[in-house]
């Protein structure tokens, strides 16, 4: 296995365990939601749930409004060290007093290395950073999305930071962090590199499918 790929896999695994420790150290955290979308977690090969979201500019929208675009969706816990690292935290510093995971690069840097054919300015490409937990492990809102967007700059031509209008706090959501998912133009989940046991490799599965989907 390529040493750089192995390093990335180790970073993802380490990021999960650091994130798990954040949760285990907090008392009284909500762990279930009575009103989760169906299906949740999303299923590879099926249409992603049409989430109701609010973005970092306060605009309400549905995930279905992005149909026709290729979407990299990143489930985020705001205090997750790997999430902060993949948003460029080791370049701009951590948010909320949390230390980004050492060695974790911004997603843009990984794309430059492993998918150089992909233009971050491609009008058909959207990065959607989906906040599932705020800095205190509670349900986030538009102010949290704005805080994340302001702190972590992005090279993507279109980057949306959004929070669900209804809480998605649950074990299933927790298990999606950290990592990335890829949605096609019909909102079908093509590749799932999220969580501590990702179904697909980010470099060997998600990035190649991203490149193909944008052709």
Given a contact cutoff of 8 angstroms between Cβ atoms, the answer to whether 62 and 197 are in contact is no
* pLDDT for 31: 47
pLDDT of residue 126: 98
pLDDT tens for the chain, 215 residues: list them: 565 555 555 555 555 455 555 544 433 345 455 589 999 999 999 999 999 999 999 999 999 999 999 999 999 999 999 999 999 999 999 999 999 999 999 999 999 999 999 999 999 999 999 999 999 999 999 999 999 999 999 999 999 999 999 999 999 999 999 999 999 999 999 999 999 889 999 999 999 999 999 99
**Cross-strand partners of 191:** 182
Report the pLDDT value the prediction gives residue 25, as an integer from 0 to 100.
40
What is the reported pLDDT for 63?
98
> What is residue 196's predicted lDDT score, i.e. its pLDDT?
85
CATH 3.40.30.10 at 3-26+47-213, yes or no: yes
Report the pLDDT value the prediction gives residue 58, as an integer from 0 to 100.
97
| CA gap 25, 145 in Å, rounded | 24
Query: Is the separation of the CB atoms in 169 and 34 below 8 Å?
Result: no
Strand partners, 194: 179
């Amino acid at each position: 296995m390529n040493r750089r790929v192995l390093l990335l896999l180790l970073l993802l695994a380490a990021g999960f365990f650091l994130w798990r420790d954040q949760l285990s150290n907090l008392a009284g955290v909500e762990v279930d939601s009575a009103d989760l979308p169906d299906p949740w977690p999303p299923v590879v090969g099926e249409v992603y749930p049409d989430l109701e979201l609010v973005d970092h500019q306060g605009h309400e929208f549905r995930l279905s409004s992005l149909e026709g675009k290729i979407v990299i969706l990143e489930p985020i816990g705001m205090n997750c060290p790997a999430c902060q690292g993949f948003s460029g935290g080791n370049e701009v510093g951590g948010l909320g007093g949390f230390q980004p995971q050492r060695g974790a690069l911004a997603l843009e840097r990984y794309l430059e290395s492993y998918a150089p054919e992909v233009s971050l300015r491609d009008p058909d490409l959207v990065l959607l950073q989906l906040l599932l937990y705020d800095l205190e492990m509670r349900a986030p809102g538009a102010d949290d999305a704005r805080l994340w967007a302001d702190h972590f700059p992005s090279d993507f031509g279109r980057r949306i930071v959004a929070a669900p209008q209804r809480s998605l706090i649950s074990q299933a959501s927790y298990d999606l962090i950290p990592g990335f998912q890829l949605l096609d133009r019909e909102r079908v989940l093509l590749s799932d590199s999220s969580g501590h046991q990702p179904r697909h490799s980010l470099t060997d599965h998600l990035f190649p499918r991203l490149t193909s989907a944008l052709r």
